[in-house]
Amino acid sequence: MNRFSLDGRTALVTGANTGIGQAIAVALAEAGARVLCAGRSEPAETLARINALGGAAEAVPLDLADPLAGGRVFEGLPPVDILVNNAGTILRADAVDFTEEDWDAVIDVNLKAAFFTAQGFARAAFARDAGGAIINVASLLSFQGGIRVPSYTASKHGIAGLTKLLACEWAGRGINVNAIAPGYVVTNNTKDLRADPVRNKAILDRIPAGRWAEPDDIAGAAVFLASPAAAYMHGAIIPVDGGWLAR
């Protein structure tokens, strides 16, 4: 038996159109999963990459600006075995200048939507007496404070706690809930940091690996957590950070 094979499984990945979500969707397809690429924009590039590999994928419209939408999405889908809660957003401003709208915009997508999407996944799994795997995308800022990202930091601390809570409740019912905590990754969310020569240098000087991560660097951990190889893992939060937290 190939402990890392996802043959015969169906995965739903939120925010699968770019960045980390795209890389995870492609990697799950490479491992044999049928991938439902969920997001508010058409994941044309992701679908093309998966099709080029001979994998199976399709788009699922999902706008998590409505945090409850993820909980409803499973009602119209075939059985889903793997959920990757990847969709997220970030706003940068000094904490003293942050508005309620700034706060809610990030918390709603990053934390509230993640919870209700996981809830919808679990309800559907329990209704058919099945288990599955949930992989939440946390962050280094699940462990640290950061600067100028108050709602993002709060949301990612929340994802870490939620991962542990759901693992405690659902492990005995056959659902593995774990999280990946990416380090600094080349994505749309980090373009401002990479464009700032002072911040970019400070970040690179702290990373033992000496470089920013590419989205593909994160994807292997997701395949592992989705696979039978991680069957006894519950509530883990795995940093994939080039050694940042070890420094």
User: pLDDT digit string (tens) for 132-187?
Assistant: 999 999 999 999 999 999 999 999 999 999 999 999 999 999 999 999 999 999 99
Does the residue 36 lie in any domain?
yes
Per-residue model confidence (pLDDT) at position 188: 87
Query: How confident is the model over 13-23, as a mean pLDDT?
Result: 97
What pTM value is reported for the model? 0.97
CA dihedral 168, 39, 188, 161 (to 10 degrees): -10
Does the residue 165 lie in any domain?
yes
C-alpha 103/C-alpha 231 separation (Å) is: 36
Query: How confident is the model over 86-106, as a mean pLDDT?
Result: 97
Per-residue model confidence (pLDDT) at position 73: 97
C-alpha 58/C-alpha 51 separation (Å) is: 10
Query: How confident is the model over 108-117, as a mean pLDDT?
Result: 98
Does the residue 169 lie in any domain?
yes
Per-residue model confidence (pLDDT) at position 5: 97
Q: What residues make up the domain containing 138?
A: 10-241
Does the residue 246 lie in any domain?
no
Query: How confident is the model over 51-57, as a mean pLDDT?
Result: 97
Which band of pLDDT confidence, cut at 50, 70 and 90, is reported for residue 1? confident
Does the residue 131 lie in any domain?
yes
Does the residue 2 lie in any domain?
no
- 184 catalytic? Reply is no
Say if residue 25's pLDDT is above 80.
yes
Instruction: Assign residue 99 the CATH number of its domain.
Output: 3.40.50.720
Per-residue model confidence (pLDDT) at position 189: 84
Per-residue model confidence (pLDDT) at position 233: 98
Alpha-carbon Rg of the chain, whole angstroms?
A: 17
The token pair that represents 44 in the structure block: 């044309």
Beta bridge partners of 176: 133
Does the residue 1 lie in any domain?
no
How does the average pLDDT of the chain come out, rounded? 97
Does the residue 234 lie in any domain?
yes
Nearest to 63 by CA among 39, 29, 34: 39
Which band of pLDDT confidence, cut at 50, 70 and 90, is reported for residue 204? very high
Nearest to 18 by CA among 189, 221, 212, 220: 189
Number of domains in the chain: 1
Share of the chain above pLDDT 70, in %: 100
Which one is catalytic: 74, 115, 116, 152?
152
